[in-house]
Amino acid sequence: MKDQFEIDVTEEEIEFFQENGFLSINQITTDEEIDWMKGLYDQLFNDRWGENEGNYFDLGGRRSHQGPDVLPQVLGPESRFPELRETIYFHNTVKISAKLLGVEKENINGGGHMILKPAQYGRETPWHQDEAYWNPHEMAHRLSAWLPLDPATLDSGCMQFIPRSHLQDVLPHRHVDDDPLVHALVTDEVNPDQAVACPIPLGGATFHHCRTLHYSGPNLTDQQRRAYILVVGPPGKKLDKPFKRPWIEEGQRAVANLKSRS
């Protein structure tokens, strides 16, 4: 980007993140860049880009289900559009994340995914910790930056967090609807009364640690709610003894069975 738009976080914001496991900021990029990203975003979802390779799928519905997708997701949009790695959003996210995680900027890498909540029927993203989805053979120290491309309100499905939940281990998770063919995971060990909702204006972003419990509600509005998430951090540390995350194998087995039958 030629006109670099620099955003930084204050010492208070860094402290808040480290204590609570999340942070909300009012601006991370420009309106122009958001407009430009919307174009690429819509193209990826309209094309169902990489569906056969597993890049596009419905996070909230049963694999290969009929009918409209309730929570469509695109993984790794930067491999289709490498210019997404050159954005103000990407640049600021790496810079800010290094400070929030307390690591060198040079040590940080990562990539993105996009989650769409269609107008009126976009499904909730139930309570979970991101690390529950990840490789159990690694200790992770990463965070997600969450950039909505439409205003994020309580009714359109803004992010909600449980303060200080990043200080605990990864909790037991299960597949939504207890169906291993649904990709989305949920944990029942959460008290939603403790949730802090983070509505943000267009151009703002939230950050959360990979162990922070988070949720976003269904989209009840007449407007779609697009979000572009970057997951960044230093490489994970290999563990001698892996974490127990049986829900991951359950999902892999169910998908393998489905494929062998079709």
Which residues lie across from 136 on neighbouring strands? none
Binding to Ni ion in span 105-144, by CB under 5 A:
130
SS3 content of the chain, % helix, strand, coil (to 5): 30, 25, 45
Q: What is the CA radius of gyration of the chain?
A: 18
Segment (H or E) for 249: helix 246-261
Per-residue buried b or exposed e for 114-127, using 16+ beta carbons within 10 Å of the residue's own CB: bbbbbeeebbbbbb
CB 198 within 8 A of CB 22: yes
Least distance to Ni ion from the beta carbon of 183, Å? 12
Q: Total binding residues for Ni ion by CB under 5 A?
A: 1
Query: Would you give the binding string for Ni ion spanning residues 188-207, x where CB under 5 A is met?
Result: --------------------
| Three-state secondary structure call for residue 14 | helix
CA distance 232 to 93: 8
DSSP H helix total and E strand total for the chain: 5, 15
Closer residue to Ni ion in complex, CB, 88/225:
225
Q: Name the closest residue to Ni ion (Cβ).
A: 130
Least distance to Ni ion from the beta carbon of 253, Å? 23
Tokens representing 236 are 């994970």
Least distance to Ni ion from the beta carbon of 176, Å? 13
What type of residue is 60? G
Segment (H or E) for 96: helix 88-101
Closer residue to Ni ion in complex, CB, 29/160:
160
- Tracing tokens 């997708």 back to the chain, one arrives at 69
Closer residue to Ni ion in complex, CB, 124/130:
130
Closer residue to Ni ion in complex, CB, 29/129:
129
Closer residue to Ni ion in complex, CB, 28/213:
213
Least distance to Ni ion from the beta carbon of 229, Å? 8
Binding to Ni ion in span 3-22, by CB under 5 A:
none
Closer residue to Ni ion in complex, CB, 69/130:
130
- Given the rule CB under 5 A, which residues bind Ni ion? 130
